[in-house]
Structures are given as structure tokens and as C-alpha cells.
């Protein structure tokens, strides 16, 4: 008798979960359709406009130079000891050595890239986007990503079904105000994002790239790249 009661309870729970999932699926369909419609104009074959776009190597070098400059400035502001007094001079020398070690630290020259797949995204000269039941993004005709758009936007569920996992990492894809956004936690743990939208004046595709610093939240690599349509619509 007890076993029968347990079986009935389990069936009821299963039924509740199934009904909840079914209702969620039905209710989310209009939202999903609206999300797809808002970014349909991004579909197409796009070629990089190199002269007006940020370059990964140059952007990385510029950012690392700024980090070095900021650290030198911070070090000079901290060196407020009176060099004429023996005790203060010893403190000054100790801090100077510590500062020099910090400035010469190789980690200052951070590599803002990642595995080959991530680099293809950051340096792609050609992008093909297909908006359908799935989002397909093809970078330089070699890296293909099949992404699921989340109708709930920038939101995560307990099940994690809205996250796409592939060779690049774990990605949440969603639409926001005619923007297609892909937020990825890379296979090495580095967080980076892509935002795509059309320039209202030129109708060129704009790709905004954001790479977070895995050492701190102070700095991040940000690039804006422009693509012109290579196909006819």
C-alpha cells in the first residue's frame, strides 16, 4: 500500500512538472517569435571594413600600454617618503623595489586573446548570420556556431537549457532592442561578449566585442568593428 502511495505521488509530481514545462513552452513561443523578428535584418553575408574597424593587435597593445602607464602613475603617487631620513629612505627603497617588480611583471602585458576559436571571432574578416529556429553564425567560413536564442533575454534557468555549449565555450544568446547579443564563458574561463546591430545611417553591421580581464574588473578590451553587406537582399 505504501509503495502504491509513493508511485501515485511521483506520478502527480511528474504531471505537475510536465504541465509547467508545457505551459512555459507555449507562453514563450510568441516572445521567441518577437525576438527573432527584431533581429532578422542582421541575416546575411558581411565583409569587414578594415579601415574603420578596431584591430585586435593594435587594441591589445594600446590597452596594455595604458595599464603600464596607470601602474607607473600609481607607483609614483605612493612614493611619498622623505629620502633624507634613514628610516624613511629604507621604506622608500623597499617600495621602489616592489614597484619595479610590479612594473616588470610579465602579466602586465596581458594576452587578450584565447584559443583559435575565440581568436577567429575577435579577428573575423567575414561573418555570415542566419536567423531562423536557431541562430547560425559563421566566421571566415571556418568557425560555425549553432546558437539557441533565449526568449527570456539575459536570464538563466536552473536547468541551463538556454545555454549553448560548443568548442568556443558556454554561450547565452538573446535579442534586446534589435541587438543580437552573445555572452560567452570561454573554455579557458575568460568572459567575452559579442553585440550585433545595424548602423541606422549606413545599414552596415556593427560588431561590438568586449573581453573581460580574468585578473581584475578594472580593465577590459573593447573593440568596435564594421561590416558591409556582401550579398543582395
Report pLDDT digits (tens) over 149-195.
Answer: 998 888 887 777 899 999 999 999 999 989 999 999 999 889 999 99
Compute how many other C-beta atoms are within 10 angstroms of the C-beta atom of residue 30: 10
Tell me the backbone φ, ψ of residue 91, rounded to 5 degrees.
-65, -40
Tell me the C-alpha to C-alpha distance, in Å, between residue 85 and each of 79, 88, 136.
14, 5, 68
H/E segment holding residue 6: helix 2-38
The alpha carbon of residue 26 and the mean position of all alpha carbons in its chain are separated, in whole angstroms, by 30
Determine the Cα–Cα distance for residues 141 and 226; give it in Å rounded to an integer: 18
How far apart (Å, rounded) are the C-alpha atoms in residues 206 and 46?
Answer: 10
For residue range 8-54, what is the model confidence (pLDDT) as tens digits? 555 555 454 444 444 444 444 444 444 567 699 999 999 999 999 99
Return the top range by mean pLDDT from 3-12, 67-76, 138-147, 211-220. 138-147
Q: Quick one: average pLDDT of 72-96?
A: 60
For cell 578590451, what's the residue?
221
CATH architecture of 30-55+114-229: Beta Barrel (2.40)
Amino acid at each position: 500500500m505504501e509503495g502504491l502511495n509513493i508511485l501515485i505521488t511521483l506520478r502527480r509530481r511528474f504531471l505537475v512538472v510536465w504541465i509547467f514545462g508545457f505551459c512555459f513552452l507555449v507562453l514563450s513561443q510568441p516572445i521567441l517569435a518577437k525576438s527573432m523578428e527584431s533581429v532578422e535584418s542582421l541575416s546575411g553575408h558581411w565583409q569587414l571594413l578594415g579601415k574603420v574597424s578596431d584591430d585586435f593587435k593594435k587594441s591589445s597593445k594600446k590597452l596594455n600600454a595604458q595599464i603600464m602607464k596607470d601602474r607607473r602613475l600609481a607607483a609614483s603617487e605612493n612614493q611619498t617618503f622623505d629620502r633624507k631620513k634613514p628610516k624613511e629612505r629604507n621604506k622608500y627603497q623597499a617600495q621602489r623595489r616592489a614597484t619595479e617588480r610590479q612594473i616588470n611583471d610579465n602579466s602586465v602585458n596581458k594576452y587578450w586573446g584565447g584559443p583559435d576559436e575565440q581568436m577567429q571571432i575577435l579577428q573575423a574578416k567575414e561573418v555570415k548570420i542566419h536567423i531562423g529556429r536557431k541562430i547560425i553564425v559563421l566566421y571566415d567560413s571556418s568557425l560555425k556556431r549553432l546558437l539557441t536564442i533565449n526568449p527570456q533575454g539575459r536570464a538563466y534557468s536552473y536547468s541551463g537549457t538556454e545555454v549553448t555549449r560548443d568548442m568556443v565555450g558556454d554561450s547565452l544568446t538573446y535579442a534586446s532592442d534589435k541587438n543580437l547579443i552573445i555572452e560567452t564563458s570561454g573554455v579557458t574561463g575568460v568572459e567575452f561578449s559579442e553585440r550585433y546591430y545595424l548602423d541606422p545611417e549606413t545599414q552596415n553591421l556593427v560588431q561590438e566585442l568586449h573581453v573581460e580581464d580574468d585578473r581584475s574588473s578594472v580593465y577590459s578590451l573593447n573593440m568596435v568593428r564594421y561590416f558591409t553587406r556582401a550579398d543582395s537582399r
